[in-house]
Structure 1
Amino acid sequence: MEERYIPHKEALSIINKQESHFWDFKSASGGGKNVQEIASALANAEGGDFIVGIEDSKRCSGIDRWKGFATPEDANWIHQALVGEIDPPVPYELEYLWIEGKGDLGTCCLVSVQKSADVHKTAKGEVLQRRGAQSLKLTGGKIADLSLSKGARSYEDQSLDDYDTEELSEEPELQTFLKGYSPASTAEKFLKRQRLVTRKGGQATVAAAILYAEEPAAIVPKRCSVKIARYESTESTPDRKYLKGTPLTIDGPARLLIDRTLTSVSQMIEAVPVLGTDGMMSPVKYPPEALKEIIVNAVIHRDYNVSDDILISIFDNRVEVRSPGKLPGHMTRENLLSDRFARNPSIVRLLNKYPDPPNKDIGEGLDTVMSAMKAAKLKEPTFAVDENAFVVVLAHTPLARPEELVLEYLGNNPEVTNKIARSLTGIESENRMKQVFYKLKKAGMIEPVPGRVRSKYAWRLTEKGVTEAKT
Structure 2
Amino acid sequence: MEERQISLAEAKEIISKQESHFWDFKSASSDGKKIQEISTSLANSEGGEFIVGIEDEKHATGIDRWQGLHNIEAANFIHQNLVNEVQPPVPYDMEYLWISGDSERGVCCLVTIQKSSDVHKTSKGDVFQRKGAQTLKLTGHRIADLALSKGARSYEDQLLDDYEVDELKEEEELDTFLSTYSPATTPEKYLTRQRLVSRKDGKATVAAAILYAEEPAAVVPKRCSVKIARYESKESTPDRKYLKGTPLSIDGPARILIEKTLDAVAEIIEAVPILGTDGQMAPVKYPPEALKEIIVNAVIHRDYNVSDDILISIFDNRVEVRSPGRLPGHMTTDNILTDRFARNPSIVRLLNKYPDPPNKDIGEGLDTVMSAMKAAKLKAPLFVVEENAFVVILAHTPLARPEELILEYLRNNEEISNKIARSLTGIASENRVKQVFYKLKNADMIEPVPGRIRSQYAWRLTEKGKSLRGSID
Same structural fold, with TM-score higher than 0.5 when normalized by the shorter chain:
yes
CA distance in 2, matches of 1:374, 1:311: 25
What's the offset of the Cα at 1:224?
1.8
CA distance in 2, matches of 1:147, 1:132: 20
| 1:131-170 equivalent positions in 2, closer than 5 A | 131-170=131-170
Residue of structure 1 equivalent to 2:366: 366
What's the offset of the Cα at 1:156?
0.2
What's the offset of the Cα at 1:67?
1.0
Q: Specify the SS of the correspondent of 2:385.
A: strand
Q: When the two structures are aligned, how many residues end up with a matched partner?
A: 471
CA distance in 1, matches of 2:86, 2:315: 52
What's the offset of the Cα at 1:433?
0.7
Q: Specify the SS of the correspondent of 1:438.
A: helix
Tell me whether 1:377 sits opposite 2:367 in the alignment: no
Tell me whether 1:294 sits opposite 2:276 in the alignment: no
CA distance in 1, matches of 2:151, 2:196: 19
**Do the aligned partners of 1:2 and 1:95 also contact (CA within 8 Å) in 2?**
yes
Return the letter of the residue paired with 2:76: N
Residue of structure 1 equivalent to 2:462: 462
| 1:35-74 equivalent positions in 2, closer than 5 A | 35-74=35-74
What's the offset of the Cα at 1:289?
0.4
| 1:237-256 equivalent positions in 2, closer than 5 A | 237-256=237-256
Tell me whether 1:116 sits opposite 2:116 in the alignment: yes
Tell me whether 1:434 sits opposite 2:434 in the alignment: yes
Q: Specify the SS of the correspondent of 1:74.
A: helix
CA distance in 2, matches of 1:450, 1:385: 48
CA distance in 2, matches of 1:37, 1:144: 19
CA distance in 1, matches of 2:221, 2:104: 53
CA distance in 2, matches of 1:299, 1:84: 38
What's the offset of the Cα at 1:74?
1.1
After superposition, the C-alpha distances for 1:208-232 in whole angstroms (9 at most, x for unaligned) are: 0000000001011443210000000
**Do the aligned partners of 1:411 and 1:469 also contact (CA within 8 Å) in 2?**
no
CA distance in 1, matches of 2:223, 2:151: 23
Return the letter of the residue paired with 1:439: K
Residue of structure 2 equivalent to 1:173: 173
CA distance in 2, matches of 1:462, 1:152: 62
Tell me whether 1:12 sits opposite 2:18 in the alignment: no
What's the offset of the Cα at 1:470?
8.7
Tell me whether 1:404 sits opposite 2:386 in the alignment: no
Return the letter of the residue paired with 1:46: E
**Do the aligned partners of 1:269 and 1:284 also contact (CA within 8 Å) in 2?**
yes
CA distance in 2, matches of 1:222, 1:168: 18
What's the offset of the Cα at 1:152?
2.3
Return the letter of the residue paired with 2:322: R
**Do the aligned partners of 1:83 and 1:90 also contact (CA within 8 Å) in 2?**
yes
Q: Specify the SS of the correspondent of 1:137.
A: strand
Residue of structure 1 equivalent to 2:220: 220
After superposition, the C-alpha distances for 1:224-260 in whole angstroms (9 at most, x for unaligned) are: 2100000000000000000000000011000000000
Q: Specify the SS of the correspondent of 1:229.
A: strand
CA distance in 2, matches of 1:304, 1:104: 48
Residue of structure 1 equivalent to 2:413: 413
After superposition, the C-alpha distances for 1:57-93 in whole angstroms (9 at most, x for unaligned) are: 1101111111112211111000000000001000000
CA distance in 2, matches of 1:350, 1:300: 11
Q: Specify the SS of the correspondent of 1:121.
A: coil
5+ long unaligned stretches in structure 1: none
Return the letter of the residue paired with 1:195: R
CA distance in 2, matches of 1:205, 1:228: 27
**Do the aligned partners of 2:151 and 2:329 also contact (CA within 8 Å) in 1?**
no
Q: Specify the SS of the correspondent of 2:68.
A: coil
Return the letter of the residue paired with 1:107: V
5+ long unaligned stretches in structure 2: none
Q: Specify the SS of the correspondent of 1:434.
A: helix
CA distance in 2, matches of 1:278, 1:439: 22
CA distance in 2, matches of 1:58, 1:132: 20
CA distance in 2, matches of 1:139, 1:343: 22
**Do the aligned partners of 1:379 and 1:398 also contact (CA within 8 Å) in 2?**
yes
Query: Cα–Cα, structure 1 residues 96 and 234, in superposed 2: closer, same or farther, change >3 Å?
Result: same
CA distance in 1, matches of 2:352, 2:455: 55
What's the offset of the Cα at 1:454?
1.0
Residue of structure 2 equivalent to 1:77: 77
RMSD: 0.9
Give the TM-score taking structure 2 as reference length: 0.99
CA distance in 1, matches of 2:296, 2:14: 27
Query: Cα–Cα, structure 1 residues 330 and 466, in superposed 2: closer, same or farther, change >3 Å?
Result: same
CA distance in 2, matches of 1:305, 1:64: 48
Return the letter of the residue paired with 2:315: F
What's the offset of the Cα at 1:2?
0.5
Return the letter of the residue paired with 1:20: S
Q: Percent identity?
A: 77
Q: Specify the SS of the correspondent of 1:421.
A: helix
Q: Which range moved further: 60-69 or 82-91?
A: 60-69
CA distance in 2, matches of 1:400, 1:55: 51
Q: Specify the SS of the correspondent of 1:88.
A: coil
**Do the aligned partners of 1:411 and 1:470 also contact (CA within 8 Å) in 2?**
no
Residue of structure 2 equivalent to 1:93: 93
CA distance in 2, matches of 1:179, 1:463: 69
After superposition, the C-alpha distances for 1:41-71 in whole angstroms (9 at most, x for unaligned) are: 0000000000001111110111111111221
**Do the aligned partners of 2:331 and 2:339 also contact (CA within 8 Å) in 1?**
yes
CA distance in 2, matches of 1:389, 1:462: 49
| 1:193-232 equivalent positions in 2, closer than 5 A | 193-232=193-232
**Do the aligned partners of 2:222 and 2:304 also contact (CA within 8 Å) in 1?**
no
CA distance in 2, matches of 1:110, 1:407: 63
Residue of structure 1 equivalent to 2:307: 307
CA distance in 1, matches of 2:153, 2:364: 25
CA distance in 1, matches of 2:33, 2:387: 46
After superposition, the C-alpha distances for 1:132-171 in whole angstroms (9 at most, x for unaligned) are: 0010000000000001001222000000000000000000
Give the TM-score taking structure 1 as reference length: 0.99
CA distance in 2, matches of 1:336, 1:140: 19
Q: Specify the SS of the correspondent of 1:84.
A: helix
Return the letter of the residue paired with 1:145: D
CA distance in 2, matches of 1:402, 1:255: 40
What's the offset of the Cα at 1:117?
0.4
Residue of structure 2 equivalent to 1:336: 336
CA distance in 2, matches of 1:62, 1:447: 71
What's the offset of the Cα at 1:468?
2.1
